[in-house]
Structure 1
Amino acid sequence: MNSKQLQYFLATAEQGSITGAARAVEVAQPAISLQLANLEHELKLKLFERDFRGVQLTEEGKVFERHARIILAQIEQAKSELMGRQNNFGGKVVVGLSQSICNVLSVDLLTEIEHRFANIEVVFRIGPSHIVNNWLAENNVDIALCYEDEKQQLTTEAIALLREDLYLYISQKPQNPAYCELALYGSIPFADLQHYEIFTPIKEDALTKLLHKQAEKLKVKLKTKTGFGQLMTTLHYVSQGMGLMISPSSSTFHLEQSKQIRPIKIIQPNLQRKVYLHLSEPAKTSAAAKVVYELIREVTASNHAKEHWRGTLLDKKYALPVVDNIQSLVAG
């Protein structure tokens, strides 16, 4: 049972017909019929008598009507109280994060803030992973998203959000003849990366450190060159077919959707890294910072479900359930 079913039930009772209820709530008639049928099936009761004149409440339906009005009134009261509480949250929250994470989280996070907590202002400080780490250590940000190799340097408690997959990205139309065969690959062993020149961040960055660490384990030498400083500039160069880069899907999902670049999964081993969410010590007393902290967890789970940020979701608090079939979705 859900509030939508109760709303449609009361509209039908008030209008005396499903057609009238459909006009009143501006919903297609079959949708109302389906929800009413689901409601009666769940209650195992007949709520309406139907004839050529329309519908009339049964005795059981009249009893249920009283309860339905009380339930909807309580829901509206709860919403009003919660909105009042949300309006009490206010202030500026500074979030430190990398360019790739900002790309996948920023729009959804700001949209949720605008809709649910209008008095909170979120400011993003974007920088290389080691700089974000320093900002957190010096309490120059309220919240930070950091990577696995930096965890031991931090004294604050952290939540492991997800273990993100890393990919080799190539243009859909590579211009370099050396990439022609590579353009056909769906996956590539890590050791084979040594045959290609690849854009990487500066040497202090967590991603570059991870790549060189794995190369040392496999006793291979990577041919890397530093990107253009700005992630989007490097991605544009790659999308034009002039280069290759290694990155998580968080930085590239929009370009994948527009078919400008294509991911090649790195295997043997699968290349992944953990992303941690940190709340700075001073921010632990800030209600606004705690709100943003929770919303980041929620938005991360949502983007993982949409496959914008691929990998293994480690923080399950806001994980979205998998719908197994269309009947489950409709019954929702």
Structure 2
Amino acid sequence: MDIRQLRYFVQIVEAGSLSKASRQLLIAQPALSQQLAKLEGEVGKPLLNRSSKGISPTRNGMALYHHARFMLRQLDQSLSIARSEAGAVQGMVAVGLPATTVSAIGLSLVRRIRDAYPSILLNVVEGMSGHIGQLFRLGQLDLAILFSNDAARDMVVEPLLEEELFLMLPRHSDLVPPDRETITIAEASMLPLILPTASHGLRQRIASEFENRGLPTDVVAEIDSLSLLMNSVFDGIGATIKPMGAIMHEGARGRQWRHLSFSDARFRRRNFLYSLPAGRMTPAAAVVADELKAAARELVASRVWAGFDSITATPPARRGGAAKAKPAPAPQEAPSRSA
């Protein structure tokens, strides 16, 4: 077995067919099939299931695929470090971010790295927290932001920031009177809600808050796509409960939203930064981790967007009652470094 065979195998799995992989690798298909046969012969087990619809990895093939991707990433990073000039920080860094976190600090992170470390190739992977956690545990990410501090063993976990969860609805919605800026859990339970599916950590957090009070929820749709969920809310199908990043996600569209705080609950979600131990972290990954933390601190300190705090900070007591609503700032008003 050699590195070339592993690269070919990974490309075949990701392409889903030998013909497509051969075109991507610029290798004749018979030669590629021969290399695959040699690899399967050395492993002693079939690695791919072949059908008229294409190919898919067997159980053994999937295990090899994940380990091969990890090995190839480590090799590429090692070569990048060896080739770099003294004092230069370069290489590829893969960062896993949930969708609302991408909206909150993703652009700031990309700009920071591009401005200060142009030799670092930043690879941002957006996904649900469960998927991000799985990729990190498989060694396919250098850094990840997750919502619990026990998602991966033997890794460095640091508190990053705390997000307040708001009831969100478009400015034109009549589900909640326009003079309200807060809402109770009981009031929210009577609204049609659009929430992530039950496997999503945010959904579990919301469900526990309602269940602790013995309140039902009127869930009219379950959607794990942030863009589709927010489109559905804006279309009047229901309201949702999300951190401020969901509205920041709408920045390019200029759509107007309201965000109502919960007056009778400390409805919060914590973000944790996961990284490899110091001995296994590349210099480029360490730099990106520092810039991620700096982007989070800037977001909290700017106060341009509501609902972001340091995890160690004690949030001020929230006043209840009805007050004149202060609408969410228009997304285009946020400074580019914080959007």
User: Could you tell me how far apart the structure 2 residues matched to 1:141 and 1:285 are?
Assistant: 11
The answer as to whether partners of 2:143 and 2:285 remain within 8 angstroms in 1 is yes
Q: 1:186 aligns with which of 181, 185, 189?
A: 181
User: Could you tell me how far apart the structure 1 residues matched to 2:207 and 2:86 are?
Assistant: 46
User: Could you say which residue in structure 1 is the equivalent of 2:119?
Assistant: 119
| Corresponding position: 1:152 with 2:150 | yes
| Corresponding position: 1:308 with 2:305 | yes
User: Could you tell me how far apart the structure 1 residues matched to 2:108 and 2:86 are?
Assistant: 18
User: Could you tell me how far apart the structure 2 residues matched to 1:315 and 1:87 are?
Assistant: 35
Deviation at 1:87, TM superposition (A): 6.7
Q: 1:110 to 1:283 in 2, by over 3 A?
A: farther
User: Could you say which residue in structure 1 is the equivalent of 2:276?
Assistant: 280
User: Could you tell me how far apart the structure 1 residues matched to 2:221 and 2:280 are?
Assistant: 37
Number of residue-to-residue matches in the alignment: 227
Q: 1:106 to 1:315 in 2, by over 3 A?
A: farther
Q: Identity across aligned pairs (percent)?
A: 17
1:164 corresponds to which letter in structure 2? Answer: E
1:114 corresponds to which letter in structure 2? Answer: R
The answer as to whether partners of 2:94 and 2:123 remain within 8 angstroms in 1 is yes
Relative to its length, the structure with more helix (as a share) is 1
User: Could you tell me how far apart the structure 2 residues matched to 1:263 and 1:85 are?
Assistant: 49
User: Could you say which residue in structure 1 is the equivalent of 2:73?
Assistant: none
Return 5+ residue gaps in structure 1 as ranges: 1-83, 317-332
User: Could you tell me how far apart the structure 1 residues matched to 2:251 and 2:163 are?
Assistant: 16
Q: TM-score, normalising length from structure 1?
A: 0.63
User: Could you tell me how far apart the structure 2 residues matched to 1:143 and 1:169 are?
Assistant: 30
The answer as to whether partners of 1:283 and 1:289 remain within 8 angstroms in 2 is no
Deviation at 1:232, TM superposition (A): 1.7
CA offset digits 1:40-77 (Å, max 9, x no partner):
xxxxxxxxxxxxxxxxxxxxxxxxxxxxxxxxxxxxxx
Q: How large is the Cα RMSD of the aligned pairs? A: 2.6
User: Could you tell me how far apart the structure 1 residues matched to 2:242 and 2:94 are?
Assistant: 25
The answer as to whether partners of 1:167 and 1:266 remain within 8 angstroms in 2 is yes
Q: 1:292 to 1:255 in 2, by over 3 A?
A: same
Return 5+ residue gaps in structure 2 as ranges: 1-83, 314-339
Larger radius of gyration: 1
Q: TM-score, normalising length from structure 2?
A: 0.61
Deviation at 1:183, TM superposition (A): 3.8
Q: Once superposed, which parts of structure 1, at least 4 consecutive aligned residues long, lie more than 3 Å away?
A: 84-87, 181-184, 225-229, 254-259, 281-284
The answer as to whether partners of 1:162 and 1:276 remain within 8 angstroms in 2 is yes
| Corresponding position: 1:219 with 2:218 | no
